Structure 1
Amino acid sequence: MSKLTHTTLVKQPERFILILGDQLDLRSAAFRDLNPQSDEIIMIESANEAQYVLSHKAKIALFLSAMRHFACALEKQGYPLVYIQNSPLPIIEAIKEQSLEKKVGRVVCIEPGEWRLKRALEELAQGLSIDLDMREDEHFYCPNREFIEWAQNKKEFRLWYFYRLMRKRHNVLVDKEVNPEGGQWNFDQDNRKPFPKKDPASLMLQPHLKLTLLHKKYWTWCKKSIQITLALLMRFIGLSLESKRYKPWNISLNIA
């Protein structure tokens, strides 16, 4: 059974501001023109979404925990919020139910990262004659329109050409002359052979596999990023990295 929780609500909301579970950002474009007097934020925990593809229980728990922490942050700041817990309905059906009940004619959202959900929102808006304001997700280096412009008149779509463009445009692992750090854009040609049948790990024992300065720099950055990410996730659920209870394959959570 779903549980509906909410803070101070608008008597007759004009718009729903839909916040999906992977769009938890107070600086989101969805909030840019929010009017607390006439808009309501809506967040939905959908069991259907968790079952759409196979997901690890720990991932689902962390995902819901992040949503509920974000909802608490909105509540503390006095935002009008409708939060639906444990809904058996798909997100689209839950939005439809709320829209019909409250006679809301406009929905604002950030473009979903999943094509399936994006199309479902567009079809819902068309079916209910709802004004859908789907805004660009600003968390990506490249918006869709920019990719479409790049892709025009391309005879083939190879990730590598686009990848190089993004590195140059955003100054990622390039020098002052916009040449690749280390003198090489990629190492694709070095990665054509399959792993040996005996054991892939045996490659690490071969003396010619020495880390260059660039490799070491990148590996140090990766390890630091992973540690920071784990620390933030553990903070969400009240565990420390030193906790004996922390095991990636067996995390006991209380996110109520």
Structure 2
Amino acid sequence: MRNLVIILGDQLTLDNPALQAFDPSQDHIVMAEVMQESTHVWSHRQRITLFLSAMRHFAEALQARHFPLTYFKLESHDYPDLAAVWRAMLQQHQPEAVRVCEPGDWRVLQALQATAREHHVALDVPQDTHYMCSIPQFQRWAEQQKGSSLRMENFYRGMRKKYKLLMKGDAPAGGEWNYDKQNREHLGKEGPQNLKPSPRFAPDALTQAVIALVKKRFPDHPGKLDEFPWPVKRAQALKLLSHFIAEKLPQFGTYQDAMWQDSPYLWHSLLASALNLKLLNPREVIAAAEQAYQQGQAPLASVEGFIRQVLGWREFVRGVYWLEMPALKSANYFKHERDLPAWFWTGQTQMQCLSQCIGQTLETGYAHHIQRLMVIGLFSTLAELSPQQVADWFLAVYVDAVEWVELPNVAGMALYANGGRFTSKPYVASGAYIKRMSNYCANCRYDPTLKAGEAACPFTTLYWAFLIKHETLLAGNQRTRLMVQHVGKMTASEQSAIKAFASQRLKQIQQL
């Protein structure tokens, strides 16, 4: 055999570079479902189902093209991890080389390299052309940046120019690069209006079989499977994209930061899982959004905000991940060590915002970026939770979680665990932010305006304690300087009272 071609669970596209020049007479494909990929973090059952179903549907597409394929189903073998499968296949086929597209997980790449060395076989890892910025290109860009910090905005502007997206000659369309200030509206008292729900995809026979398998093999894992709405085939993902562009994109920008009780999806695209599995290509997603602007179907602010997420932030965090690993995995700038409260796995907390965001996460495997960053991530920072435990939780519970995108977003952005390597400030706020951007506080036992006392919102108490503890750091940062000016106006006794009550709150964290 010439090549043993490995296709990983998040590489489900016929454009996979590992399949270039594939010769059915000389090459063989292997795909495998293994327990470790669902248990190295305590994976949500929606996430497990999504990966397994999408993989099995893609395997059917390969078989329809008569590609020689060995597919290891979870219920049909005893191999504990991917490396064990690869070793067995190498022993059986004795290929000249192993060929696999760049993985999205540093851990998997290490396992591939170790297996190839063990068997003295060449390992060919072609560049993943799904992404619009290669890892070497990002590394060159990072080397050219002044100082030790990397900024997404600079990277994003370069990508806009490179791909001539939302450009008018050499200038950005509309005269501005970033319309984020127009994209922070709250929903008001009336809540979401005229919102057409995204299409949901009834599980076919293959997906139903996967659901039954997951219920049987992972009975104690978080998440429900009463409904499973996610796209597992390219045709479904394209339908979801078309709906978003036509029905949600026009108001996406305006309300992308808003939150509303019992409304988990709002105007968000829900495309991240399809993109991360490679059922969709970012180029086609961006092109569809830009076309909507050009045809007058969506305002510039919404389109720019969406394209910034896909072309800017998504590509940026991938570059950062491979630049910073493996150090990013253990980063802990603030030296936070507190264990996750048990209610992270139940949603049963008296804080309404966290009950809503964690509850819907455990129910659906989904929360939008503000719920993740400015509710769950915010609390994790203020409560001094272990970055490693928080990152593992995020990787476990979201259907769109792949480590290259999850870890930089959580450890780097939400938790500031790497000390601001690519973020300009710690993301901290009081309960007032949540009240402004949602209706969660209206049904909560805690008052976001109070700093101390039994009725005080834990977010607010912990926020002020954080400012007091890190006053010097925050005063030296241009973006947080104004925050801590109020600390300087407090008396020593006021500061002591806040710190004492915050300490009490953290001792009672399981009961909050």
Q: Do they fold alike, i.e. is TM over 0.5?
A: yes
Contact 2:182–2:253, Cα closer than 8 Å, also in 1: no
Contact 2:18–2:99, Cα closer than 8 Å, also in 1: yes
Structure 1: stretches of 5+ with no match in the other structure: 1-12, 192-199, 207-214, 234-247, 252-256
| Counterparts of residues 45-60 of structure 1 (less than 5 Å) | 45-60=33-48
Identify, as 1 or 2, the structure richer in strand.
Answer: 1
Are positions 1:28 and 2:25 aligned together?
Answer: no
TM-score in terms of structure 1 length = 0.68
Deviation at 1:158, TM superposition (A): 2.0
Are positions 1:111 and 2:102 aligned together?
Answer: yes
The one-letter code sitting in structure 1 at the alignment partner of 2:110 is R
In structure 2, do the counterparts of structure 1 residues 178 and 219 end up closer, same or farther at CA, with 3 Å as the change threshold? farther
> Counterpart in 1 of 2:359?
none
- CA distance in 2: counterparts of 1:59 and 1:176, whole angstroms: 41
| Counterparts of residues 139-158 of structure 1 (less than 5 Å) | 139-154=130-145, 155=147, 156-158=149-151
Deviation at 1:30, TM superposition (A): 1.2
- CA distance in 2: counterparts of 1:224 and 1:83, whole angstroms: 34
- CA distance in 2: counterparts of 1:81 and 1:139, whole angstroms: 22
> Counterpart in 2 of 1:74?
62
> Counterpart in 2 of 1:239?
none
- CA distance in 2: counterparts of 1:16 and 1:133, whole angstroms: 10
The one-letter code sitting in structure 1 at the alignment partner of 2:177 is W
- CA distance in 1: counterparts of 2:249 and 2:115, whole angstroms: 50
The one-letter code sitting in structure 1 at the alignment partner of 2:11 is Q
Describe the SS at the equivalent of 1:166: helix
What does the per-residue CA deviation read over 1:159-214, in whole Å, with 9 as the maximum and x for residues that have no partner?
A: 22112211222233x331343344333367899xxxxxxxx99x5439xxxxxxxx
What does the per-residue CA deviation read over 1:65-108, in whole Å, with 9 as the maximum and x for residues that have no partner?
A: 11111111111211110001115421122101221233234111
Contact 1:14–1:105, Cα closer than 8 Å, also in 2: yes
What does the per-residue CA deviation read over 1:130-150, in whole Å, with 9 as the maximum and x for residues that have no partner?
A: 111101111111011111221
Contact 2:160–2:167, Cα closer than 8 Å, also in 1: no
- CA distance in 2: counterparts of 1:250 and 1:115, whole angstroms: 27
- CA distance in 1: counterparts of 2:70 and 2:13, whole angstroms: 17
- Count of residues in Structure 1 that have an aligned counterpart in Structure 2: 205
> Counterpart in 1 of 2:26?
38
- CA distance in 2: counterparts of 1:106 and 1:217, whole angstroms: 49
Identify, as 1 or 2, the structure richer in helix.
Answer: 2
Contact 2:113–2:123, Cα closer than 8 Å, also in 1: yes
> Counterpart in 2 of 1:179?
171
- CA distance in 1: counterparts of 2:188 and 2:35, whole angstroms: 46
Contact 1:42–1:81, Cα closer than 8 Å, also in 2: yes
> Counterpart in 1 of 2:119?
128
In structure 2, do the counterparts of structure 1 residues 204 and 224 end up closer, same or farther at CA, with 3 Å as the change threshold? closer
The one-letter code sitting in structure 2 at the alignment partner of 1:219 is F
TM-score in terms of structure 2 length = 0.36
Contact 1:105–1:129, Cα closer than 8 Å, also in 2: no
Contact 1:99–1:105, Cα closer than 8 Å, also in 2: no
> Counterpart in 2 of 1:169?
162
Percent identical: 33
Deviation at 1:225, TM superposition (A): 4.4
Contact 1:15–1:38, Cα closer than 8 Å, also in 2: yes
Describe the SS at the equivalent of 1:205: coil
1:219 is aligned, of 252, 255, 263, to: 252
Deviation at 1:26, TM superposition (A): 1.4
Contact 2:161–2:170, Cα closer than 8 Å, also in 1: yes
> Counterpart in 1 of 2:5?
17
Are positions 1:249 and 2:363 aligned together?
Answer: yes
Contact 1:92–1:124, Cα closer than 8 Å, also in 2: yes
> Counterpart in 1 of 2:85?
94
